[in-house]
Amino acid sequence: MSKEVSKEGQSHGKDYTDPPPAPLIDMGEVKLWSFYRALIAEFIATLLFLYITVATVIGHKKQTGPCDGVGLLGIAWAFGGMIFILVYCTAGISGGHINPAVTFGLFLARKVSLVRAVAYMVAQCLGAICGVGLVKAFMKHDYNRLGGGANSVASGYSTGTALGAEIIGTFVLVYTVFSATDPKRSARDSHIPVLAPLPIGFAVFMVHLATIPITGTGINPARSFGAAVIFNNDKIWDDQVMDLLGRTICWSTRCSGVPPVHPKSGSHQSLGIVPQQPHQLRNIPTNQFIFIGFLLTLSISSTVCLME
């Protein structure tokens, strides 16, 4: 009897399946409708994410009383809650990335191909620009007066501190994504009914609680880039370069296992960044982005209605 049991156990093998690594370049994906369906999902999800969250930030800053509005806690809930909702809605279509940092991390882990990763990042950034453009169109006066919901280093903090906060925050998010989507964990903890979007949303919520006072919390290049493009301020572009550098360091350390090294100096010169470079997009007319945002939203909404 014991021999039979052992043989049966050996025949089943492990109770989870490791997905095969994605090819580096898979041009066959561009011939599939599911590929473009996933791009549409990423675009719409990032658009909705930026619209709801940036509008929440502007609404909070518009209040005058200390107890008016949603407060910092409400802003953190808006970001975390929207991630939970949108990841749940798009996980079966595109994987629910909604963040170039997540896409890049999954690419380095060979979960997605280079073609899909680049296409996702472009769709996410365009969706972010259009989402913030809608906020500016609906709340133009308050948007321009209250900072446009863009990320910047708060007064009293150095750029080195902001860089460290973004590195840690992005690491927490990407680490949670990898843990929540691990096939071994799904097989081992199958008796625990926990949705993967739930810990991801909570990770975003907790990181926002910690870093809103420092940088406004980026941890999403599309979120920071879209707000910077529409608000189009010199200081925002300077801090945007610091933000992207922080994510680049985080991506490298997340995949190599090397702990992040914080710079001793927070100046632009110590990091090898030329301050004039971020100003190349300074003169972009934001009205064109708002108009394009409306057109893209209308066309893509029509396309989604025709989807099976």
Q: Any idea what the CATH number is for the domain that residue 241 is in?
A: 1.20.1080.10
Question: pLDDT digit string (tens) for 234-288?
Answer: 666 666 654 555 455 555 555 544 444 444 444 433 333 333 444 344 443 434 4
Question: pLDDT digit string (tens) for 127-183?
Answer: 999 999 999 999 988 888 888 888 888 889 888 888 889 889 999 999 999 888 887
Give the C-alpha separation, 43 to 32, whole Å: 18
The phi, psi pair for 241, rounded to 5°, reads -65, -40
| pLDDT score at 297 | 46
Question: pLDDT digit string (tens) for 183-195?
Answer: 777 666 655 556 7
Does some domain include residue 253? yes
Q: Please determine, for residue 75, whether its predicted confidence score (pLDDT) is greater than 80.
A: yes
Does some domain include residue 14? no
Does some domain include residue 74? yes
CB atoms within 10 A of CB 292: 14
**Domain tally, the chain:** 1
Q: Which domain holds residue 244?
A: 29-306
Does some domain include residue 235? yes
Does some domain include residue 186? yes
Does some domain include residue 213? yes
Does some domain include residue 144? yes
Whole-number Cα distances in Å, 180 to 64, 70, 131, 173, 199? 40, 29, 27, 11, 7
Does some domain include residue 21? no
pLDDT tier at 301, thresholds 50, 70, 90: very low
Question: pLDDT digit string (tens) for 183-232?
Answer: 777 666 655 556 789 999 999 999 999 999 998 988 998 998 999 889 88
